[in-house]
Structure 1
Amino acid sequence: MANTSTIARGGDQSPAPGRRRRSSARPNRASGLPPWAVPYVLLVPGLLVIAGLLLYPLFQLIVMAFQKVGIPQIKGTRPAEWVGWDNFTRIFDNDIFWSSLRNTVLFAVIAVSLSLVVGTAVGVLLHKLGKKMSLLVVVGCMFAWAVPPVAQGVIWRWLFDADAGIINWALNMLPDGLSTALFGRADWTGEPWLNDAFSLYVVLIFCVVWAGFPFIAVSVLAGLKGIPTELYEAARVDGSGAWLTFRKITLPLLKPVFAVLTVLSIIWDFKVFSQLYVLMNGPTNREGFNLSMYAVAEAFKAPPKMGSGAAISVVLTVILLIVTVFYVRQIVKQEEM
């Protein structure tokens, strides 16, 4: 009777063994936002920073490409004049633009290819070395990658200097017969490597590859660490050689890594400026211009034509977007297949 009356009054209503009482309290949503909106709200600060540092300057660059901006506009004595497509027409009619485009494309193709080949070879070597030796080589390589672009240009300008460069000194140390047989000359005193456009870009390629391959090597090394060793052991048992193993196992599994490295290298090498500026000692040799140097020369050399410089920059940006989108689409198609 006591137990029955107690239950009827709701006094002792403890849950049955093995069952948990459901809490009637709802989760506290202090923000008042639905759950699906929280990730988007968290992205807002980052998007605002990107918009302020990247999208707004890009918008201003595009606007300036359709305007005439010179000394009066810089001083603020006269507003910018809208000229439509005149800036683009002017640069397309200039032979310097097409020579700069040719230099940019050829340099990027050679520099990207060499950086990937050298970086991949060094990455495979690092994977074969022991831990201590691999760490030592990685640290030594990263010193080159950590050097700022301007300092890279200074180093290689000193190496190939006509009067005090170590390259001319080393070539003069070769026996006259050997130097004549290899290069067709024995005296290298005062050789102006950086005055000719061809030799200038040879030096620039050395400079960019020297500074760029460590990042590729470390990235390839990280990718190799993620490949199961059982695959290599099975290939070794089947009698597969080193090159066949690399082509059939390593290369397919590292395709995502190579895709990212290729896109990054294309972007970096297409818009190389600091190293070329230092090696050239400013925009002095028009035959050695790339698109970045040509844009700076148009925008800031007297008389300044910032509209034309902006137009060249827009063309370079469009080329980079087209190349990057095309390459990424090819990679995605290969992954889907």
Structure 2
Amino acid sequence: MSTLTREPGTRRTRGRDLPARRPRRPGTGVPYLLLAPTLLVIGVLLLWPLGQVAVMSLHEMGIRELRGDRPWSFVGLENYTQILSDPFFRTVLRNTVLFAAANVALTMVLGTLVGLLLNRLGKRMAGFVGAAVMLAWATPALTGAIVWKWIFDDTSGLVTWFLNELPDGLSSALFGRAEWTGYGWFNSPLTFFTVLTLVVVWHSFPFVAVSVLAGLKSVPGELHEAARVDGAGPWRVFWSVTFPLLRPLFGVLVVLSTIWDFKVFTQQFVLAGGTQDRSTFMLAIYSYAEAFSPPPKYGLGAAIAVVLTLILLAVTGVYVRLILRQEET
């Protein structure tokens, strides 16, 4: 018997080999058509307002210009030159960078520890602790800031009451004072940023904890077991097994935390009671103060907002570049 062979990519029809039919591909414009609604929403809600802010930063604007009573006065890069040459802007930038660095570090450490704890607890206890932790994340920033401001109130706050209840000798030895009624927690930059850091970390670490918990669930248990058999302790297991596998997750969390902490506004505005204390300014509230404090300078405030956006885009770009390098290696 003779063996009939067919070339690959052909089909038999009535004894003849014909080229196999290829699946029909949709038109090249179909994917873009499907993406069009999403791109339209992004453009309207994000790109258009950002473009308006960038345009405003190139003009000198006040109330009359904003209402349309007078045309916008184009000044080019004068607003950027003014803020970048101002020594106070460098002070504000330093405050923002130091505050963001401290908060990102504390948020990541606390969130990771809580995530590891949740991973080791039983189902019921983990559900209870997880629900309690997520209450902080679910609380609106404004509500949380008001509660924390009452906790540190100088007359009726919980912290003031607790410190007054301490023995005078112990309080004097630890803190250098025995009477705490009337102590202004928000009057000094050091104590203000301490309380603000506590508020921001309290509100931010649940997201990190839950994200780390989800990442830990994806790590095969056999790897941990093998490391323990080899004699590795908990610390060694985390750094040699868990952390390398979850490095992309930690990278995303660090970038998100950096963006959030650079943009802190609500908590600072509530705790400071407005924009009177310029010694505690950071970029977000500095932009607001320049734009809306009388006389309003909307162009200058918009320029500060653009600088803040460029800094955050640079941070995100560095992270994306590092991720791409890791994938290449």
State the TM-score, normalized to the length of structure 2.
Answer: 0.91
Partner residue of 1:233 out of 213, 221, 225:
225
For residue 320 of structure 1, what is the aligned residue in structure 2?
312
Distance 2:324 2:194 in 1: 34
Partner of 2:287: 295
- Please give the residue correspondences for 1:218-257 in structure 2 after superposition, counting only pairs within 5 Å: 218-257=210-249
Which letter does structure 2 place at the counterpart of 1:69? M
Amino acid at match of 1:165: G
How far the C-alpha of 1:157 sits from its partner, in A, is 0.7
State the partner residue of 1:23. Answer: none
Alignment pair present for 1:70 and 2:62: yes
Which amino acid in structure 2 is aligned with residue 113 of structure 1? Answer: A
Structure 1 residue runs of 5 or longer lacking an equivalent are 1-14, 17-25
Alignment partner of 1:142 is 2:134: yes
User: Per-residue deviation at 1:179?
Assistant: 1.5
d(CA) in 2 for partners of 1:36, 1:227: 40
Q: Does 1:196 align with 2:197?
A: no
- What displacement does 1:175 show? 1.6
Shift of 1:36: 4.1
User: How has the CA–CA distance of structure 1 residues 229 and 187 changed in structure 2, closer, same or farther, with 3 Å as cutoff?
Assistant: same
Of 163, 170, 183, the residue aligned with 1:171 is 163
Q: What are the superposed Cα offsets for residues 259-291 of structure 1, whole Å, 9 maximum, x if unpaired?
A: 111111011110010110000111110001101
Given that 1:119 and 1:216 are in contact with CA atoms closer than 8 Å, whether structure 2 keeps it comes out as yes
Question: Per-residue CA shift, 1:48-88, capped at 9, x if unaligned?
Answer: 00000000111111110010110221232101000011111
Tell me the CA shift for residue 91 of structure 1. 1.5
1:241-265 C-alpha deviation (Å, 9 max, x unpaired): 0000000001001111101111110
Q: Secondary structure of the residue that 1:256 maps to in structure 2?
A: helix
* Counterpart-to-counterpart distance in 2, 1:37 and 1:331: 31
Residues in 2 aligned to 1:182 and 1:128: alpha-carbon distance in whole angstroms: 36
User: Structure 2 matches for 1:47-86, cutoff 5 A?
Assistant: 47-86=39-78
Q: What is the Cα deviation at residue 92 of structure 1?
A: 2.1
Q: 2:263 aligns with which of 271, 281, 295?
A: 271
Query: Which string of whole-angstrom CA distances, capped at 9 and with x for unpartnered residues, describes residues 303-336 of structure 1?
Result: 0000000000011011111112112222332343
The one-letter code sitting in structure 2 at the alignment partner of 1:99 is T
Equivalent in 281, 305, 315 of residue 297 of structure 2:
305
| Matched AA of 2:26 | P
Query: Could you tell me which residue of structure 2 aligns to residue 212 of structure 1?
Result: 204
Q: Distance in 2 between matches of 1:40 and 1:320?
A: 28
Name the SS for the 1:109 alignment partner: helix
CA distance in 2, matches of 1:156, 1:150: 10
* Bigger mean CA offset, 300-309 vs 159-168: 159-168
The alpha-carbon deviation at position 95 of structure 1 amounts to: 2.8
**For residues 249 and 230 of structure 2, what CA distance do their matches in structure 1 show?**
27
Counterpart of 1:44 in structure 2 is 36
The number of residue pairs the alignment matches comes to: 313
Contact 1:259 1:328 in 2 (8 A): no
Please say if 1:131 is aligned against 2:120. Answer: no
Partners of 2:233 and 2:27 lie apart in 1 by: 54
Q: In structure 2, what is the Cα distance between the partners aligned to 1:164 and 1:100? A: 32
Report the residue type matching 1:249 in the other structure.
V
- 2:69 aligned partner, one-letter code: T
Distance 1:244 1:43 in 2: 46
Runs of 4+, deviation exceeding 6 Å: none
Once the 2 structures are TM-superposed, how far is the Cα of residue 35 of structure 1 from its aligned partner? 4.2
Name the residue aligned to 1:332: 324
Percent sequence identity is 55
Residue 192 of structure 2 is aligned to residue 183 of structure 1: no
User: SS state of the match for residue 294, structure 2?
Assistant: coil
DSSP 3-state at the match of 2:231: coil
Residue 300 of structure 1 aligns to which amino acid in structure 2? F
Q: Give 1:128's aligned amino acid.
A: R
RMSD of equivalent CA atoms: 2.0
Q: Distance in 1 between matches of 2:312 and 2:58?
A: 20
Q: Which residue of 2 aligns with 1:159?
A: 151
Are the equivalent residues in 2 in contact too, given 1:153–1:207 (CA < 8 A)?
yes
Deviations 1:179-214 (A, max 9, x none): 222112222111100111221111111001001000
Q: Tell me the CA shift for residue 114 of structure 1.
A: 0.4
